[in-house]
Amino acid sequence: MYLEVKDVKKSYGKDDSYIQVLKGISTEVKQGQMCVIQGTSGSGKSTLLNCIGGLDNMDSGSVKVDGQEISGLRPAKLADYRRDHLGFIFQFYNLVPNLTVRENIQVCEYLSKQPLDMTELLETLGLAEHQNKFPSQLSGGQQQRCAIARALIKNPKLLLCDEPTGALDSGTSRDILILLEEINQKYGTTMLIVTHNNAIKDMVHKVLVVKDGLITKEYENHTRVPAAELEDL
Amino acid sequence: MNRVLRKRLLRDLKSNFLRYLALVILIVMGMYVVVSVVGAADTIIAGSTDKAEKNHVEDGQFAVFFPLTDAQERKLTDAGILLERMFSLDLEAEDDSIVRVMKSRENINLIDLDEGHPAENSGEIVLEKRYCEEHGLKTGGSITISGLEFKIVGIGSTPDYDMPVRRFSDMAVESSRFGTGFVTEKQYEEIQKTMPSRAEDYCYAYRLIDSGMTDNEVKQMVREYGLDHALTSFVKKADNPRILAAAGDMQINREAGLFAGVIVMVLFTYVISVFVIHQIQQESSVIGTLYALGAKKRDLLLHYITLPTILVFIGGVAGALLGFSKTGIPTQMADSYRYCSIPTLDVRYSVYLIVYSIVMPPAVSAVVNYLVINRRLSRTALSLIRNEQSVKEFPRTEESQGKRFFSRIVCAAAGGMTGSVRRSSKSPKLHFIRLFQLRQMMRERRAGLTVVCGMIIALLVLMLGLNCYVLCRNVQKDSINSTKFEYMYSLKYPEKDIPEGGEACYAETLSRTSMGYTINVSVIGIRKDNPYYDTEPAKGINSIIISKSVQQKYGLHTGDQLILKDSAEDIDYAFTVEGICDYAGGLAVFMDIDSMRELFGREEDYYNMLLSDQELTIDESRIYNITTKEDIARSASIFTSLMMSLIIMMTVSAVFIFCMVLYLMMGVMIDRASFGISLVRVFGFRTGEIKKLYLDGNAWIVAAGAIIGIPLAKVIMDALYPWMIANAAVGMNLVFPWYLYAEIFAGVMAVYFVINALLVRKLNRITPAEVLKNRE
């Protein structure tokens, strides 16, 4: 298994404000799989993603990525872990405003020892003609493509996406999902996608449904619907 | 990664060009002042010391009542020291100024000519440069002294009159009234012969050269050879206020300049760091994302420190270049040239100062920014992505107030117009505004603190200038008020009978070394019921009444012990302070005249000073010099005019620093509040109301800062001042009239209101659309 999550628990606050967000989550994702984590607001899906990404500390449990245990790692080691293994995509693209598209991607290119080819990536993501534009000159979809390119340039084995289409219209959302699908096929990138969007579940290999801090449903799609054919996005 | 991020630097610079330009100008000016002041100090200290050595400055001098015989002179020179007569006659020029005429020097205290050549024939004279400047005299011109006309063949300076004062105890240089002149030996002898009634000063200068002797051994020799009875003064080079006086003044400038440079740079770089923090807060989610992608804090820290460090470096280098240029060091040296009589010096480019000006600013910037930024970048990736604010950012009182604020706005909106808010009863609205302002102040406490720190630094600079002004004015006022006589005669050979109308006193000049400087203190013996001094010292050879100036200068109180030294005799006198009198005309202490005669082994009716309210008829040959009340008033007023350029420079610098810091910090406060300002614009608030909410609260910060800062700056500067003017033979009356404090406060508030008004334009540039931009 590429990703192994065992009995992960996470809580916030103390006394009256104490809340347990993750109550013991266990799951596995194979290398190259696309996996969707679904759930309502406050169900704990983003917290789970953050724990896997080493952005948040878990109270207990274990997360192994490619055999490496990440719970208990010091901040510097966690930074190395993220640098070597992960790509992140957020709902709001978080691009550096006064760097061009190409420069935004280059920021992360330097973090990797074996980055992907920049030109090829720009072509793949349809950003070649926008590479010298600043984020403010791009549409939402183009900005998200840039954020994806920035995450992918490091050639990460695991791509964590937090509501990647949350801020986009349905047409643009479809384009982004097609892109993610292509990347998965082309580079074999394992993907964890947190989303509210119910339609996405049909295009991925595996679906996790989180409710009240627990996985209430977990299954694999034997037949997947290509992103281009998804309905009700 | 930083290679790419570096591309942002130029873009950041472009988008905030005016702000950074203002900061760079501030740094350039700061470094310019520091480099020029310290560079001038280095040049004068090293240059005048080198020149003095080159011109064989004396190691010491002694004066005697009667000239030494050739045999006595030979005894001294046989011991291995170099000895030269520095005899002089004080003669009057046509404008009643005094020219101390001496023969040209051969071995010691040589003349450093700025122009012309030494006097070679009778009728020729070389004049001291400051005297010439004050009198508009040029080489080739002429001067009439005591009826004798001389052709000016050269203009220069000598190391023994670096500070060209007539007497060691003179408070200030007055080159319009006193100068030196050098004629041939033959000419000097002719003058002696033609004016036999003139009192000649028999002074000898010596150099120890390779004799292996010390000053004290020379003094001992002078005594052993039977000269001690005639010895009137013995002054080592280090104790001679005329020698290397300009260098002595500059010592303080150098140390204070280097220290002030660091303080100013800390302030300016802190101002920059406030901008960087603002930028980090704006880019919080981007930074968090980069962390999430594996970027390390070190990389980002380096990135955010780079621009301020480069800017400070550029500012520092530009300031240093300006400081080292013709408009820098030479300009700062001008005051010394205007006051002291020193040769024209080549500017020194000290290696340490070059390193200091290039390395110190970026180093301070890097350290300050590291300390300030590091904490901001130490938050977790998640916290940065969410742009979470620390709980400290929102004090509990404001939280609840914030709810009330929004509920009020909602109510107003429900009423259909904000006018309902304006029409509501006055006190709740005022209450709300005050609390909102308080919330804004709490949120912007960093910028507020920077404003207060900047204000205190500006006030320190201002106080430096104002203290100087007040001291000069007080010296002038106190000198005039304390001088009740019209004429003071210092006598070389007093008559047995006291001339009618004269009040006989006995004066001795002793000295005290404090803070590295030896300053002369006059001990004046007076009789009971003396009409010219409001004090009646009790009998007793150790009892003295000190003047207010001595009390201020040395911080003495009744019952304290004051030790004064007789350098000529090498005797220390320990006096007990029995009281303090109002006299503030100079550094003087008073004794009962009989007790003083007893202490110094004088005859029962001895006196050497006469005070009078009218001109007395005294044989000219008996007089050392005559000082009138007018002379004292004029001499005391010199300080104010000499220091005026410094006072103006300090005041302008203080206002400039305060304006810049206030403008920049209030500007950044607006930037940081742009979302809130935009939001309240959406709600219908008007510019005046927004200004009240977001800017006017700063009035309290500025007012509170001024109320604390003005007395604080005064206390600090008063404590530093004795150290700063340790070489000045004046009291330390730094008392401000109350209205000066009020004027400073009014000035601070006036600057604030002007800056506040200027910033309204910036406020107007924030549109309701900002809210929409920030939604992402």
CATH number of the CATH domain containing B524 = 2.40.40
Asked if residue B747 belongs to a domain, the reply is yes
Chain B residues near residue A50 by CB distance under 8 angstroms: 382
Q: Are residues B661 and B742 in the same domain?
A: yes
Interface probe, candidates B11, B16, B293, chain A, greatest A C-beta count within 10 A: B293
Interface probe, candidates A12, A47, A55, A150, chain B, greatest B C-beta count within 10 A: A55
Q: Which residues contact B537 (CB under 8 A, 6 or more apart)?
A: B526, B543, B544, B545, B578, B579, B590, B591, B592, B595
Q: Are residues B590 and B661 in the same domain?
A: no
- What Å distances lie between residue B633 and B57, B477, B639, CA to CA? 33, 8, 11
Compare all CA atoms of chain B with the CA of A91 and give the residue at the minimum distance: B776
Say whether A94 and B296 touch across the interface (CB within 8 A).
no
What's the token pair of residue B670? 């607006």
Q: Which of B388, B414, B430 is the last residue of a domain?
A: B388
Compare all CA atoms of chain B with the CA of A108 and give the residue at the minimum distance: B1
Q: Are residues B686 and B747 in the same domain?
A: yes
CB B125 within 8 A of CB B210: no
- CA proximity to A8, closest of A51, A39, A50, A41: A51
DSSP state of A59: S
Q: Are residues B182 and B306 in the same domain?
A: no
State how far residue A98 is from chain B, nearest Cα, in angstroms.
6
CB A71 within 8 A of CB A62: yes
DSSP β-bridge partners for residue A211: A214
Residue ranges per structural domain of chain A: 3-93+156-229
Length of chain A: 233
Say whether A107 and B8 touch across the interface (CB within 8 A).
no
Say whether A96 and B15 touch across the interface (CB within 8 A).
no
Asked if residue B374 belongs to a domain, the reply is yes
Domain span holding position B338: 1-57+244-388
- CA proximity to B264, closest of B142, B178, B188, B361: B361
pLDDT below 50 — which residues of chain B?
Answer: 391, 393-426, 774-776
Higher-pLDDT residue of A6, B677: A6
Q: Could you tell me how many CB contacts below 8 A there are between chain A and chain B?
A: 83
Can you tell me the distance from the alpha carbon of B711 to that of B582, in angstroms, rounded to the nearest whole number?
A: 26
What's the token pair of residue B557? 């109180």
Q: Which of B584, B617, B650 is the last residue of a domain?
A: B617
Q: Are residues B653 and B720 in the same domain?
A: yes
Tell me, what's the pLDDT at B683? Answer: 63
Of B1, B283, B291, the CB nearest to A110: B1
| H-helix segments, B600-697 | 629-672, 674-683, 687-694
Tell me, what's the pLDDT at B229? Answer: 57
How many folded domains does chain B comprise?
4
Tell me, what's the pLDDT at B407? Answer: 44
Can you tell me the distance from the alpha carbon of A154 to that of B646, in angstroms, rounded to the nearest whole number?
A: 61
Chain A residues near residue B296 by CB distance under 8 angstroms: 76, 79, 83
Say whether A53 and B292 touch across the interface (CB within 8 A).
yes
Say whether A90 and B289 touch across the interface (CB within 8 A).
yes
Quick: pLDDT tens for B588-626: 999 999 999 999 988 888 999 999 999 988 887 788 778
Tell me, what's the pLDDT at B128? Answer: 96
Asked if residue B333 belongs to a domain, the reply is yes
Chain A residues near residue B285 by CB distance under 8 angstroms: 90, 92, 94
Chain B residues near residue A92 by CB distance under 8 angstroms: 285, 776
Q: Are residues B68 and B196 in the same domain?
A: yes
**Angle formed at CA B386 by CA B380 and CA B391, multiple of 5 degrees:** 75
Can you tell me the distance from the alpha carbon of B341 to that of B343, in angstroms, rounded to the nearest whole number?
A: 7
Asked if residue B150 belongs to a domain, the reply is yes
Average pLDDT over residues A42-58: 89
Asked if residue B525 belongs to a domain, the reply is yes
How many CB atoms neighbour CB A229 within 10 A?
11
Report pTM.
0.73
Asked if residue B288 belongs to a domain, the reply is yes
Q: Are residues B474 and B512 in the same domain?
A: no
**Angle formed at CA B619 by CA B614 and CA B622, multiple of 5 degrees:** 105
Say whether A88 and B380 touch across the interface (CB within 8 A).
no
Asked whether residue A96 carries a pLDDT value surpassing 60, the answer given is yes
Compare all CA atoms of chain A with the CA of B6 and give the residue at the minimum distance: A99
Of B1, B8, B289, the CB nearest to A111: B1
φ/ψ of A70, rounded to 5, equals -105, -15
Q: Does domain A3-93+156-229 have CATH number 3.40.50.300?
A: yes
Q: Are residues B329 and B459 in the same domain?
A: no
- What ipTM was assigned to the predicted interfaces of this complex? 0.70
Tell me, what's the pLDDT at B413? Answer: 33
Compare all CA atoms of chain A with the CA of B5 and give the residue at the minimum distance: A107
Q: How far apart are the first and last CA of chain A?
A: 30
Interface probe, candidates B1, B4, B302, chain A, greatest A C-beta count within 10 A: B4
- CA proximity to A233, closest of A193, A203, A209: A203
Q: Are residues B253 and B366 in the same domain?
A: yes
Asked if residue B430 belongs to a domain, the reply is no
Q: Are residues B45 and B106 in the same domain?
A: no
Burial of A202 (0-12, 13-18, 19+ CB in 10 A): middle
Can you tell me the distance from the alpha carbon of B169 to that of B145, in angstroms, rounded to the nearest whole number?
A: 25
What's the token pair of residue B613? 């309210």
Q: Are residues B68 and B53 in the same domain?
A: no
Q: Are residues B527 and B654 in the same domain?
A: no
Compare all CA atoms of chain A with the CA of B773 and give the residue at the minimum distance: A136
A164 touches chain B (CB under 8 A): no
Tell me, what's the pLDDT at B500? Answer: 87
| Chain A, window 32-61: residues with a beta carbon less than 8 angstroms from a chain B beta carbon | 50, 53, 55-56
Tell me, what's the pLDDT at B414? Answer: 32
DSSP β-bridge partners for residue B91: B99
Tell me, what's the pLDDT at B427? Answer: 55
Quick: pLDDT tens for A133-175: 988 889 888 898 899 898 888 889 999 999 888 878 888 889 8
Q: What count of Cα atoms within 13 Å lies in the side-chain half-sphere of residue B182?
A: 26
Of B4, B381, B776, the CB nearest to A110: B4
Asked if residue B85 belongs to a domain, the reply is yes
